């Protein structure tokens, strides 16, 4: 399969792709990461302990794993999950029901969110940004619906760029992952798109700089998974923001 085209066709191609693999999405995540994706989501949710009171929006919520992790960190708060794949949302409905978790879900495009400005205390996303037609627009939209002093938090796959390890990771990602995708999900094309989309995506440093250009302050990130995952956090700035906004440098974890 050729990767989705760069303009409007990409959005629809990605939507169809995620809808095709929704029924095997959790299993594939577990196999590809040896189950570590749950730990990365827990770390992402833990950053929201620094967020102000208020509702949280989880974009590209998929089957709801990050939303569930956020509920554990903020059990008394409201967590809303949004995704543009209705097939993914159906999987999330089933999972949330089994867990007895109350997380409202809605179908929504991350580039045109149906919420007023400054609605949420935090907006999160896991493995969303590299799939967007307009990365800068997506970050800007996340910022728009977040309160001043609130957090924008993203989790993404990245190339480790560590000599030796980067080559091994590339071999695994481009050769082994599509083969597993064909065997388990019956969709080699979707799991060939995955490493290609990571190769084309901006570096963690580049994403941090873009977040700053879109009005976020205190932007910092850490690498997880031996450098293959990047967790970014930014604060929505404004004249009424408290002066103790965290300022942290990039680091590896």
Domains within the chain, CATH numbers bracketed: 8-237 (3.40.50.150)
Number of C-alpha atoms within 13 angstroms, CB side, residue 1? 21
The per-residue pLDDT for range 31-73, each reduced to its tens digit, is 999 999 999 999 999 999 999 999 999 999 999 999 999 999 9
Max CA distance (Å), the chain: 53
The pTM (predicted TM-score) of the whole model is 0.90
Q: What is the pLDDT of residue 8?
A: 55
Give the DSSP letter of residue 190: H
Q: How far is CA 151 from CA 25, 44, 235, in A?
A: 27, 11, 5
* First-residue to last-residue Cα distance in the chain: 35
At 77-112, the pLDDT tens digits run 999 999 999 999 999 999 999 999 999 999 999 999
Q: Any idea which residue has 């929006």 for tokens? A: 57
**Mean pLDDT throughout 20-32?**
97
Q: Which of 80-84, 91-95, 151-155, 240-244 shows the lowest per-residue confidence on average (mean pLDDT)?
A: 240-244
Q: Measure the CA angle with vertex 132, ends 48 and 232; round to 5°.
A: 30
């Amino acid at each position: 399969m050729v990767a989705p085209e760069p303009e409007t066709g990409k959005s629809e191609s990605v939507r169809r792709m995620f809808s095709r693999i929704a029924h095997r999405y959790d299993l594939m995540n577990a196999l590809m990461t040896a189950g570590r994706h749950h730990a990365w989501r827990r770390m992402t949710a833990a950053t929201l302990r620094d967020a102000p009171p208020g509702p949280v929006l989880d974009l590209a919520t998929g089957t709801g794993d990050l939303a569930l992790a956020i509920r554990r960190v903020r059990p008394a708060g409201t967590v809303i999950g949004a995704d543009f794949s209705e097939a993914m949302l159906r999987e999330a409905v089933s999972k949330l029901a089994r867990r007895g978790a109350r997380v409202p879900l809605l179908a929504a495009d991350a580039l045109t969110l149906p919420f007023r400005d400054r609605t949420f205390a935090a907006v999160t996303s896991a493995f969303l940004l590299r799939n967007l037609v307009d990365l800068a627009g997506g970050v800007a939209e996340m910022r728009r619906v977040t309160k001043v002093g609130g957090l924008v938090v993203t989790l993404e796959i990245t190339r480790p760029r560590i000599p030796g390890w980067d080559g091994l990771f590339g071999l695994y990602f481009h050769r082994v992952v599509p083969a597993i995708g064909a065997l388990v999900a019956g969709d080699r094309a979707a799991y060939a798109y995955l490493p290609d989309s990571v190769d084309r995506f901006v570096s963690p440093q580049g994403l941090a700089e873009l977040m700053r250009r879109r009005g976020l302050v205190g932007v910092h990130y850490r690498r997880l998974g031996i450098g293959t995952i990047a967790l970014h956090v930014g604060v929505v700035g404004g004249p009424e923001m408290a002066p103790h906004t965290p300022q942290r440098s990039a680091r590896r974890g």
